[in-house]
Amino acid sequence: MLLFIEQCLNGLQFGLLLFLLAAGLTLVFGIMDLVNLAHGSLYMLGAYFAATFAAWTDSFVLGALLALAATLVVGMALEVVALRRLYGRDHLDHVLGTFGLILFFNELVRLVWGPAGMSLSLPMWLIPPVEILPGLFYPTYRIAIILTALLVALFLYVLVMRTRLGMLVRAGASNREMTGALGVNISLLYTLVFGLGAALAGLAGLMQAPILTVQIGMGENILILAFVVIIIGGIGSIRGAFIAAILVGLIDTIGRAFLPDLLRLVLSSRGASTVAPAMSSMMIYLLMAIVLVLRPEGLFPVSSK
Amino acid sequence: MTAALTPRNVVIAVLMLLLAAVPVYAAVTANTFLVTLFTRVIILGMAATSLNLILGYGGMVSFGHAVYLGIGGYAVGILAQEGASSGFVQWPVAILVSALFALLVGALSLRTRGVYFIMITLAFAQLVYYFGVGLDRYGADDGLTIGRRSQFAGLLNLSDRTQFYYLCLALLVVTIYLIARLVNSRFGMVIQGARSNDRRMRAIGFPTFRYRLTAFVIAGAICGLAGALLANHTGFISPATMHWTRSGDLIVMVVLGGMASSFGPLIGAVALLSLEEALPVLIRVSASPMFGDAAVRMAEYWQIVLGPLFLLVVLFARGGIDGLLAGVRRG
């Protein structure tokens, strides 16, 4: 039972990370109607920046903050230089153009940081596990991830639904020309939204960095998962992304944790350990396919504009 | 339809002649690398041509087309491992399984539009990708080495590079011809009409879903055959063949060469794979006067040029290479 709770927490933590990635993606997607495959590259950059800055400043928190700022700047620059030219184009153009950007960023990272991966070590105060339930110790760092991501989710909700900036963003999403005609600087607004999305991706990357190694292409597989999340949740819906992300995180983690034991009943133990991770990954895509067939607009579609 | 002597037709004719001459040139210079490279170009050109049927003519942006390369490849690999090495069994199985999978994916995904279609085709491809990763008996993540190429009862020897090359080239030409005939038929007009305005096509009485599904299945079947060829070419099949970035490569070939054009995808495949070979050399040569020995190291990072190139094609050359050629006026 304790193991089950622990795995649920792991799933929640992974789901919240996915949410950070998916939130930026769904904002850009819902507001600018841009399919951005290069979002995973920003996730990767966040991790690389954090590893570098943390080594320079000798402080995890300072490094993380600098990395956030750096990803924000890179994201905004990317929007101004390249991506804003893709607005209003075909989705196929987005796929192709941003696919090219993935190659570009992967090579850029290889050029700057070299082909070997990096690691980001945690500060002492985040390492010891805490007892959250009698007999259940859970790593402090994972709790920190869960809390940070929940705070960010709250911040996003307040930002989009309760502030003037969020109101402008929503207005720009529903009618770009009209909002522009009322004197709002739409292109600046879009650049800001894109930068925000980039920073969220960077945050996800840098928080994942101490758990996995920082390496080239680390954003590619998780990007596809983030796409699955926003499709299940309904494009443009932050609430949908939140729920779908946690759902996907739980399925993935719990599948990985418990399927091997189940499969061992019918397969050899080596077979089970190969098949189980593949099966839990397949379950996610199966879920997405089922959702798309039954509710093509996702679980929480944004009410029609 | 008479072929006029336009710059575009000249380029295509020259390209086909060059492709036909590759083994001859290779035999004279004893350069087997070229045959290996261009066999790959031809096979991927065939896959891209099949994608063009649905992407270019049908407007269906399938982001999971590489999955059929994988299915076709695994059909050959698994049958070979189980002792059925006859090509008369392997290849029809590759085509049939690909077609059936395309039927399933198409039946479900063609109900959706736009970006949802892109993502659902991707999801099904990922499903099969992870299925391949979990195929413990057949190498799982590491892939499966195919010891013996498909046997054709002594009629053909696929281990012979030249024979295999010309077989691939012949199949490519047949594919291009069949698809060109198909898209200019009534059937092709319907799927092109559905690309422009599906609702109008349905309003005037065409059950477009059936037409588009048929096109989807044909494209999958042809790509499955290309997968069987690819597995024979490399003697190896692994889940990496159907990684989503491979599907991206196929889309790049189609768009780079020119969508909805008979020879466009082949031109795209030639251009993309040649660029992959030529860019490192180009960078090395052009940078060496300025940077000396460092140019060799710089050439390793050729993808830094290739990526933005895709973006430039999207922004400035929407018709791809074929579109540029068609735009060139004579004289």
Model pLDDT, residue B194: 92
Give the mean pLDDT of chain A. 88
Q: What percent of chain A has pLDDT over 90?
A: 39
Model pLDDT, residue A304: 46
Confidence of residue B331 (pLDDT cuts 50, 70, 90): very low
**What's the pLDDT tens digit per position in A170-183?**
888 888 888 888 88
Whether the predicted pLDDT of B2 surpasses 70: no
Question: With an 8 Å Cβ cutoff, are A91 and B118 in contact?
Answer: yes
Q: Out of B63, B134, B140, name the one closest to residue A95 (CB).
A: B63
Nearest chain A Cα to B255, which residue? A96
Tell me how many residue pairs between chain A and chain B have CB atoms under 8 A apart: 139
Nearest chain B Cα to A90, which residue? B114
Interface of B with A in 209-248 (CB under 8 A): 244-245, 248
Give the residue with greater pLDDT, B318 vs A181.
A181
Whether the predicted pLDDT of A1 surpasses 50: yes
**What's the pLDDT tens digit per position in B169-181?**
999 999 999 999 9
| A167 Cβ under 8 Å from any chain B Cβ | no
Find the range with the poorest average confidence among A60-74, A192-206, B139-153: B139-153
Question: With an 8 Å Cβ cutoff, are B61 and A271 in contact?
Answer: no
Q: Out of B127, B314, B315, name the one closest to residue A285 (CB).
A: B127
Q: Which residues pair with B145 in a beta bridge?
A: B236
Q: Out of A96, A103, A289, name the one closest to residue B303 (CB).
A: A103
Mean pLDDT within A202-226:
89
Structure tokens at A191: 């650049």
Mean pLDDT within B19-30:
89
Interface test with A, best of B54, B109, B119 (most A CBs within 10 A): B119
> What span, in angstroms and rounded, lies between the C-alpha atoms of B63 and A164?
38
Question: With an 8 Å Cβ cutoff, are A296 and B252 in contact?
Answer: no
**Is there a contact between A291 and A234 (Cβ–Cβ < 8 Å)?**
no
| B63 Cβ under 8 Å from any chain A Cβ | yes
Highest mean pLDDT of the ranges A31-35, B135-139, B236-240? B236-240
What is B78-116 written as a DSSP string? HHHHTT--BHHHHHHHHHHHHHHHHHHHHHHHTTS-HHH
Mean pLDDT within A250-268:
82
Q: Out of B116, B126, B302, name the one closest to residue A224 (CB).
A: B126
> What span, in angstroms and rounded, lies between the C-alpha atoms of B327 and A20?
46
3-state secondary structure of B241: helix
Tell me how close the Cα of A91 comes to any Cα of chain B, in angstroms. Answer: 7
Highest mean pLDDT of the ranges A62-76, A127-141, A155-169, A281-295? A62-76
| B316 Cβ under 8 Å from any chain A Cβ | no
What is A170-206 written as a DSSP string? HHHHH-HHHHHHTT--HHHHHHHHHHHHHHHHHHHHH
Give the mean pLDDT of chain B. 89
Question: With an 8 Å Cβ cutoff, are A274 and B136 in contact?
Answer: yes
Structure tokens at B313: 């094609």
Give the residue with greater pLDDT, A274 vs B92.
B92
Nearest chain B Cα to A227, which residue? B119
Mean pLDDT within B76-86:
90
Model pLDDT, residue A32: 85
Interface of B with A in 124-183 (CB under 8 A): 124, 126-127, 130-131, 133-134, 136, 140-141
- Domains of chain B: which residue ranges? 7-327
**What's the pLDDT tens digit per position in A26-64?**
888 888 889 899 999 999 999 999 999 999 998 899 999
**Is there a contact between A71 and A204 (Cβ–Cβ < 8 Å)?**
no
Question: With an 8 Å Cβ cutoff, are A277 and B134 in contact?
Answer: yes
**What's the pLDDT tens digit per position in A93-136?**
898 899 999 989 999 999 899 888 888 888 888 888 888 778 78
Question: With an 8 Å Cβ cutoff, are A292 and B119 in contact?
Answer: yes
Helices (H), chain B: 7-29, 32-52, 66-81, 87-109, 114-133, 161-183, 186-203, 208-234, 244-257, 264-291, 294-299, 303-316, 320-327
Give the residue with greater pLDDT, B147 vs A152.
A152
**What's the pLDDT tens digit per position in B211-228?**
999 999 999 999 999 999
Q: Which residues pair with A136 in a beta bridge?
A: A133
| A285 Cβ under 8 Å from any chain B Cβ | yes
Whether the predicted pLDDT of B330 surpasses 60: no
- Domains of chain A: which residue ranges? 2-121+138-294
Which backbone phi and psi does A136 adopt, to 5 degrees?
-115, 110
Pick A2-121+138-294's CATH classification: 1.10.3470, 2.40.160, 1.10.10, 1.20.120: 1.10.3470
Model pLDDT, residue A302: 72
Chain A residues close to B309, C-beta within 8 Å? 100
Question: With an 8 Å Cβ cutoff, are A100 and B55 in contact?
Answer: no
Q: Out of B55, B63, B130, name the one closest to residue A281 (CB).
A: B130
> What span, in angstroms and rounded, lies between the C-alpha atoms of B134 and A265?
17
Give the C-alpha distances (Å, rounded to integers) separating A270 from A211, A260, B74, B135, B137: 25, 9, 22, 12, 11
Nearest chain A Cα to B121, which residue? A289
Q: What percent of chain B has pLDDT over 70?
A: 98
Q: Out of B61, B112, B134, name the one closest to residue A292 (CB).
A: B112
**Is there a contact between B104 and A289 (Cβ–Cβ < 8 Å)?**
no
Nearest chain B Cα to A86, which residue? B315
3-state secondary structure of B127: helix
What is A79-143 written as a DSSP string? HHHTGGGGTTS-HHHHHHHHHHHHHHHHHHHHHHH-SS-B--PPPGGGSSEEEEETTEEEEHHHH
Question: With an 8 Å Cβ cutoff, are B303 and A286 in contact?
Answer: no
Highest mean pLDDT of the ranges A205-214, B125-134, B177-186, B291-300? B177-186
**Is there a contact between B166 and B21 (Cβ–Cβ < 8 Å)?**
no
> What span, in angstroms and rounded, lies between the C-alpha atoms of B164 and B242?
23
Question: With an 8 Å Cβ cutoff, are B127 and A97 in contact?
Answer: no
CATH topology of domain B7-327: ABC transporter involved in vitamin B12 uptake, BtuC (1.10.3470)
| B103 Cβ under 8 Å from any chain A Cβ | no
Question: With an 8 Å Cβ cutoff, are B248 and A281 in contact?
Answer: no
Confidence of residue A303 (pLDDT cuts 50, 70, 90): low
